[in-house]
């Protein structure tokens, strides 16, 4: 170890010794018993030095560093002392089983409380629905108090400690979390920590001219600094406004707003902001959350002359938040929402940072493969990008509440002779239905008139061709659309990681064009794929009812449910280990999943024509001569070519 490193450990130890009496006060005040206090002390002994190091790195040069450090430590101790007994029990389990989320039994779902069931109390009546579908992880879209009017689907939070009154109360949330826990379902909530709403208390204080709170945000008196930053920034919401700053009339100042103009970016170079958000984070954790989805992680640190995305300090900050979780809410894990270049996405993933992460590259490339009927770019990418560190996991999804951006790597495309720029143009044309022969019915999101760039909105079913097929009353197209959906689910449910459904997918819900009628939503095409749950669909599960399109929905629901329950019976699908299988056929994706001596081969046909693969290839990787496709129950012998129907997916178990 270098002398400087030694020195920092020395400083850390000395600081902790000096802060000890303050800690003792917290324990005394909160009347925590010795055992609970001892657990904290043990973890503190393990995590204090690395924590000190991270915070010193970020804030060591601030004149009041020690003041903030003390507050950080007190907040951790207080939160731990307030943590409920059943959460502490869960903490124990999770500490002893740090890879709990790698189980094949884990299957996720995400929903908007208001669109699904109106409010939290009615949501409690639907725990049975989640269990019936097979979900064991539930992400509730942001449900905290928001500004009036447009609130970016809950991402403009005005108070992290109260639930939007239309949805319920914080006690309803605690109760729901408890009931989920009892049902064996993990709860996922957002930690929207890059920005607050412009009517959050801190923003209000800033608006009334209090410098302490103006320092919570990036606020500038004139255009000089914004313009210096702007030189290297990209625009995330170019249709909202030009650039990344918003003029505030009351303050007569410019405010940094990466997303909507009412979402003010927090200034994490100020240690007071780190501490303030830490308090909110631990408060949310203690309501009974298993996973926090770290929203917009890429944007949380800014430095002039850079694009202010994915900066090293962003990682340091998340690592510091993670250590705080280890200390005060050790069962909690983080999920990274970094929808950026694949090289950057992986940098957030690690047991010391975010244990799990959206897999936007897989998502985008599955849609890419459907459009091209070729898995070449997918295979090229997966080949060197799928593997993750131990005790971490991808979250594999097909659609979510956001748009689809074509975030593959240009060099991966180039390596197989694809021009990335042209290819993205093609994909945009294809998924907005403008390309001749396209089956998709997506719409543009944030089309940038200057760069020609855009992203895609639309539900899974509409993008997969169901909307067009129903409109054209074309039975063959309907069949293909449904098969495309099942093909994609069959992959996210088996490729390694946590599969995540965006609820509505289980019914093949189509685009909802009515969003334009609501002025608070009309300007944001993502609302097209945020439809309201239709509970009457449940009645269609009864075979005797033949409502219009009811049979399609019944088939989609039942097939999805079946794939989910199958996944849970296959130990090979635990973990993250995936090896590609060379199918020698660009329309066929193949891979093997291996877990503790179990093996499962997956073959997926991305075209509307039958395809085949040489049986010998299966024999060598699957270590067997006969395989059963557990989805259809059919046996395949490796002495012959294995046949796949249009868009068929096979899950092959050795028989
Ligand atoms: C995240 C959310 C997105 C939101 C943005 C700003 O990317 O997923 O819906 O618009 O952050 O909070
Ligand atoms: C950008 C951001 C991502 C966000 C999305 C919302 O892609 O990188 O964080 O979800 O915009 O549209």
How is 447-472 classified by DSSP, letter by letter? --TTT---EEE--HHHHTTHHHHHHT
548 has a pLDDT exceeding 70: no
Among 152, 172, 190, 337, the one annotated catalytic: 337
Average pLDDT over residues 98-106: 97
Contact (Cβ atoms closer than 8 angstroms) between residue 603 and residue 615: no
Is 265's C-beta closer than 6 angstroms to any atom of ligand 1?
A: no
Report the atom number in ligand 2 closest to the C-alpha of 407.
7
Nearest CA to ligand 1 atom 3: 402
pLDDT in tens, 458-512: 999 999 999 999 999 999 999 999 999 999 999 999 999 999 999 999 999 999 9
3-state class (DSSP) for residue 625 = coil
* pLDDT, the chain, mean: 96
Output the CA 402–ligand 1 centroid distance in Å: 7
Is 296's C-beta closer than 6 angstroms to any atom of ligand 1?
A: yes
Average pLDDT over residues 77-106: 97
Contact (Cβ atoms closer than 8 angstroms) between residue 337 and residue 358: yes
Q: How confident is the model at residue 523 (pLDDT cuts 50, 70, 90)?
A: very high
Is 240's C-beta closer than 6 angstroms to any atom of ligand 2?
A: no
CATH value of 195-265 in 1.10.10.10, 3.30.300.30, 3.40.50.300, 3.90.400.10 = 3.90.400.10
544 has a pLDDT exceeding 70: no
User: Within 13 Å of residue 9, how many CA atoms lie on the same side as its CB?
Assistant: 9
Is 533's C-beta closer than 6 angstroms to any atom of ligand 2?
A: no
Q: What pTM, to 2 d.p., does this model score?
A: 0.96
Q: How confident is the model at residue 550 (pLDDT cuts 50, 70, 90)?
A: confident
Q: How confident is the model at residue 276 (pLDDT cuts 50, 70, 90)?
A: very high
177 has a pLDDT exceeding 60: yes
Complete DSSP assignment for 494-555: TSSSEEEEETTGGGTPPP-GGGGGSTTTTT-GGGGG-PPP-GGGGGGGSTT---TTHHHHHH
Q: What does the pLDDT read at residue 4?
A: 63
Average pLDDT over residues 526-546: 87
Q: What does the pLDDT read at residue 1?
A: 52
Q: What does the pLDDT read at residue 622?
A: 85
Per the structure block, which two tokens stand in for 313? Answer: 């300090």
Instruction: Tell me the residue ranges of DSSP E strands in 83-232.
Output: 108-111, 137-140, 144-146, 157-163, 186-191, 195-197, 219-220
Q: Taking the domains of the chain in order of start, what are their residue ranges?
A: 1-97+270-358, 195-265, 572-654
Q: Give the integer Cα–Cα distance in Å for 388 and 102.
A: 12
Output the CA 137–ligand 2 centroid distance in Å: 23
450 has a pLDDT exceeding 90: no
Output the CA 296–ligand 2 centroid distance in Å: 7
Per the structure block, which two tokens stand in for 464? Answer: 């997969």
Q: What does the pLDDT read at residue 301?
A: 98
Q: Is 512 a catalytic residue?
A: no
Residue 291 contacts by C-beta under 8 Å, 6 or more apart in sequence? 101, 137, 139, 186, 187, 188, 189, 332, 333, 334, 335, 356
Q: How confident is the model at residue 343 (pLDDT cuts 50, 70, 90)?
A: very high
Decide: residue 297, CB within 10 A, 0-12 exposed, 13-18 middle, 19+ buried.
buried
Contact (Cβ atoms closer than 8 angstroms) between residue 640 and residue 521: no
pLDDT in tens, 411-443: 999 999 999 999 999 999 999 999 999 999 999
Helices (H) and strands (E) in the chain, counts: 23, 25
Q: What percent of the chain has pLDDT over 90?
A: 95
Q: What does the pLDDT read at residue 169?
A: 98
Composition of the chain by helix, strand, coil, percent to 5:
45, 15, 35
Q: How confident is the model at residue 541 (pLDDT cuts 50, 70, 90)?
A: confident
Nearest in space to 475 (alpha carbons), one of 398, 531, 555, 369: 555
Question: How many residues can be counted in the chain?
Answer: 655
Out of 145-149, 235-239, 302-306, pick the least confident. Answer: 235-239
Is 649's C-beta closer than 6 angstroms to any atom of ligand 2?
A: no
Q: Give the containing element (helix H, strand E) for 387.
A: none
Per the structure block, which two tokens stand in for 604? Answer: 């997926």
Average pLDDT over residues 271-300: 98
Q: In angstroms, what is the C-alpha Rg of the chain?
A: 25
Contact (Cβ atoms closer than 8 angstroms) between residue 389 and residue 346: no
Nearest CA to ligand 2 atom 2: 339
Q: What does the pLDDT read at residue 542?
A: 77
Mode of pairing for the β-strands spanning 642-644 and 611-613: antiparallel
Per the structure block, which two tokens stand in for 453? Answer: 């760039």
549 has a pLDDT exceeding 80: no
Contact (Cβ atoms closer than 8 angstroms) between residue 197 and residue 156: yes
Domain 572-654 architecture:
Sandwich (2.60)
Q: Is 344 a catalytic residue?
A: no
Is 402's C-beta closer than 6 angstroms to any atom of ligand 1?
A: yes
Cross-strand bridge partners of residue 643: 612
**Angle subtended at Cα 71 by Cα 65 and Cα 76, rounded to the nearest 5 degrees:** 130
Q: Give the integer Cα–Cα distance in Å for 258 and 236.
A: 7
Top mutation candidate among 233, 236, 523 for ligand 2, by most atoms within 8 Å of CB: 236
Decide: residue 535, CB within 10 A, 0-12 exposed, 13-18 middle, 19+ buried.
exposed
Q: What percent of the chain has pLDDT over 70?
A: 98
3-state class (DSSP) for residue 397 = strand
Q: Give the integer Cα–Cα distance in Å for 368 and 574.
A: 26
Q: Give the integer Cα–Cα distance in Å for 203 and 213.
A: 7
Q: What does the pLDDT read at residue 448?
A: 87
């Amino acid at each position: 170890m270098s002398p400087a490193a030694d020195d920092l450990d020395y400083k850390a130890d000395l600081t902790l010794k000096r802060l000890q009496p303050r800690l003792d006060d917290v324990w005394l005040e909160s009347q925590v018993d010795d055992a609970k206090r001892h657990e904290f002390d043990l973890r503190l002994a393990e995590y204090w030095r690395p924590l000190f190091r991270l915070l010193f790195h970020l804030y060591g040069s601030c004149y009041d560093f020690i003041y903030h450090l003390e507050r950080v430590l007190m907040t951790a101790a207080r939160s731990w002392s307030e943590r409920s007994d059943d959460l502490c029990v869960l903490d124990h389990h999770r500490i002893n089983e740090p890879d709990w989320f790698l189980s094949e039994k884990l299957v996720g779902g995400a929903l908007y409380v208001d669109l699904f069931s109106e409010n939290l109390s009615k949501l409690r009546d639907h725990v049975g629905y989640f269990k019936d579908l097979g979900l064991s992880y539930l992400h509730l879209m942001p449900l905290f108090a928001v500004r009036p009017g447009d609130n970016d689907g809950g991402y403009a939070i005005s108070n992290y400690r109260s639930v939007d009154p239309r949805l319920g109360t914080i006690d309803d949330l605690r109760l729901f979390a408890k009931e989920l826990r009892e049902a064996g379902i993990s709860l996922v909530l957002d930690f929207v920590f890059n920005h607050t709403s412009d009517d959050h208390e801190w923003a209000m204080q800033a608006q009334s001219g209090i410098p302490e709170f103006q320092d919570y945000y990036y606020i500038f008196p004139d255009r000089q600094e914004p313009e210096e930053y702007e030189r290297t920034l990209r625009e995330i919401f170019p249709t909202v406004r030009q650039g990344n700053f918003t003029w505030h009339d009351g303050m007569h100042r410019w405010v940094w707003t990466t997303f909507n103009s009412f979402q003010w970016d927090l200034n994490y170079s100020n240690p007071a902001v780190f501490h303030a958000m830490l308090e909110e984070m631990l408060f949310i954790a203690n309501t009974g959350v298993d996973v926090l989805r770290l929203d917009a992680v890429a944007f949380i640190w800014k430095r002039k002359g850079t694009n202010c995305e994915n900066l090293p300090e962003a990682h340091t900050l998340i690592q510091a938040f993670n250590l705080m979780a280890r200390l005060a809410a050790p069962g909690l894990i983080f999920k990274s929402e970094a929808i950026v270049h694949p090289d950057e996405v992986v940098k957030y993933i690690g047991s010391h940072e975010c244990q799990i992460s959206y897999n936007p590259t897989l998502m985008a490339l599955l849609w890419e493969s459907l459009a091209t009927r070729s898995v070449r770019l997918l295979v090229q990418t997966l080949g060197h990008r799928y593997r993750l560190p131990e005790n971490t996991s991808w979250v594999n999804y097909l659609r979510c509440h956001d748009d689809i951006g074509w975030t593959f790597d240009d060099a991966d495309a180039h390596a197989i002779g694809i021009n990335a720029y042209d290819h993205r143009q093609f994909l945009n044309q294809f998924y907005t239905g403008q390309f001749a022969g396209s089956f998709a019915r997506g719409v543009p999101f944030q089309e940038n008139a200057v760069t020609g760039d855009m992203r895609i909105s639309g539900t899974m079913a509409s993008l997969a061709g169901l909307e067009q097929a129903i409109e054209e009353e074309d039975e063959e197209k309907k069949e293909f659309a449904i098969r495309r959906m099942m093909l994609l689910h069959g992959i996210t449910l088996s490729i390694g990681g946590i599969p995540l459904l965006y609820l509505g997918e289980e019914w093949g819900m189509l685009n909802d064009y009515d969003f334009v009628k609501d002025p608070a939503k009309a300007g944001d095409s993502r609302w097209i794929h945020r439809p309201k749950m239709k509970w009457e669909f449940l009645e269609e599960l009864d075979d005797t009812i033949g409502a219009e399109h009811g049979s399609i929905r019944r088939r989609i629901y039942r097939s999805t449910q079946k794939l989910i329950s199958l996944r849970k019976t296959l130990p090979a699908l635990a973990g993250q280990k995936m090896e590609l299988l060379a199918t020698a056929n660009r329309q066929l994706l193949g891979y093997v999943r291996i877990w503790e001596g179990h093996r499962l081969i997956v073959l997926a046909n991305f075209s509307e024509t039958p395809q085949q693969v040489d049986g010998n290839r299966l024999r060598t990787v699957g270590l067997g001569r006969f395989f059963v496709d557990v989805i259809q129950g059919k046996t395949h012998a490796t002495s012959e070519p294995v046949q796949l129907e249009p868009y068929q997916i096979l899950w092959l178990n050795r028989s």
